[in-house]
Amino acid sequence: MPLWHGSGSSFSVTMGTVRFVPPSNRRADVLEILRSVQGPVRTQPGCAAFDIYDDRGPDSAVLLVERWETDAALEAHLRSDIYRSILCAIELSGERTEVRFEHVSDSQGIELIERTRSASGGPDVGRSKG
């Protein structure tokens, strides 16, 4: 049995990503606002994920990644007072903000890697040696 597992499935979700670079003197404020709404967003109906990534690399970007089970759930979130707080945090950046919403209807896991590597004659992935 593989050590790794994943299950492919057919479904439909909307992935949202927001990427921006807050100025260093506002970064703590931005992250405080975002972290204060993270719990409440995660409890909104239809929210499958809401994660904040604080990149300490050269561009020091902040990345929000959201996953919504239905368009209606996403739209309710975008109209909510909680989202108004998120917009305020984004506006503190004063820089260009990248916003994307993508509809995803298929997902594959480790089986894609195993199938692809098997087809190319590569070694098995995730198999225990023994």
CA nearest neighbour of 109 among 121, 127, 126, 122: 126
Residue 111 lies in a domain: no
Residue 3 lies in a domain: no
Which burial class, exposed, middle or buried, applies to 5 when counting CB atoms under 10 A from its CB (0-12, 13-18, 19+)? exposed
Residue 116 lies in a domain: no
pTM to 2 decimals?
A: 0.76
Residue reference for tokens 């209807």: 105
Q: What is the pLDDT of residue 11?
A: 64
Share of the chain above pLDDT 90, in %: 62
Residue 126 lies in a domain: no
Does pLDDT of 2 surpass 50? Answer: no
Strand runs labelled E in 21-116: 47-54, 62-68, 98-107
Residue 6 lies in a domain: no
What is the tally of structural domains in the chain? 1
Residue 59 lies in a domain: yes
Do 73 and 45 contact (CB within 8 A), yes or no? yes
pLDDT digits (tens, 9 = 90+) for 95-117: 789 999 999 888 888 988 888 99
How sure is the predictor about 6, in pLDDT bands with cuts at 50, 70 and 90?
very low
Q: What is the mean pLDDT of residues 87-96?
A: 87
**CATH of residue 31:** 3.30.70.100
109/107 Cα distance (integer angstroms): 7
In terms of residue numbers, what domain contains 37?
Answer: 11-106
Arithmetic mean of pLDDT over the chain: 85
Token pair belonging to 25: 């003197």
Residue 95 lies in a domain: yes
Residue 119 lies in a domain: no
Q: What is the pLDDT of residue 5?
A: 39
